[in-house]
Structure 1
Amino acid sequence: MEGLGNMSKQIPVTVNGKVITVAENSSILMLLQQLNLDHNTVLVELNKTALLKKEYACTVLKPHDRIELVQVSAGG
C-alpha cells in the first residue's frame, strides 16, 4: 500500500480501485495535493456521491471510503 501524509495514524481508502493509506483526518483537498493533482481540474466522487469543488477542503476521509477521481482536460 502506498502511504500519503505524515501523521502517525493511517487509514485505508480506495482511490480509483486501488487501496492506499492516507493520514487520519485528511481532506479530499489534501489527498489531491498529495497526489499532485490540481483540484480545479479534477472531479471527485466519494462513495458514489459527486462532490462540489467547495466541499473538497471540508470533506474529511474516513476508513474504507471509496474515491473516484476524473481528470478533466480541454480539447477540441
Structure 2
Amino acid sequence: MSGGRPEKHSLTLRGHRTSVSLEAEFWRAFRAIAAAEGRGLNDLAAEIDAARGPERGLASAIRVFVLDRHRAASVAD
C-alpha cells in the first residue's frame, strides 16, 4: 500500500457532478471492477449512490463496495 493521501476525482451521477476522494488503491480497484463488468465508472458510482443509506457517504459506500467485491472474489478462488 502506498499510504498516500486520498485523491479527489469528479464523477457525474445522473447528470450531477460530484467529487469523491478515495485512496489510489481504491480508485484502481474501482476502475478494474467497472472495466471487468463492461460499465462506466459514473454508471457504477450512480448505482452505488442509489443503494447507499443516508448515514453513509459516497466515498465510504464505494470503499465498502470494492471491499465486498474483493471478499467475494477471494471466496470464489
**TM-score, with normalisation over the residues of structure 2?**
0.30
Q: Could you say which structure has the higher strand fraction?
A: 1
**TM-score, with normalisation over the residues of structure 1?**
0.30
Q: Bigger relative contact order, structure 1 or 2, given CA contacts below 8 A and separation 6+?
A: 1
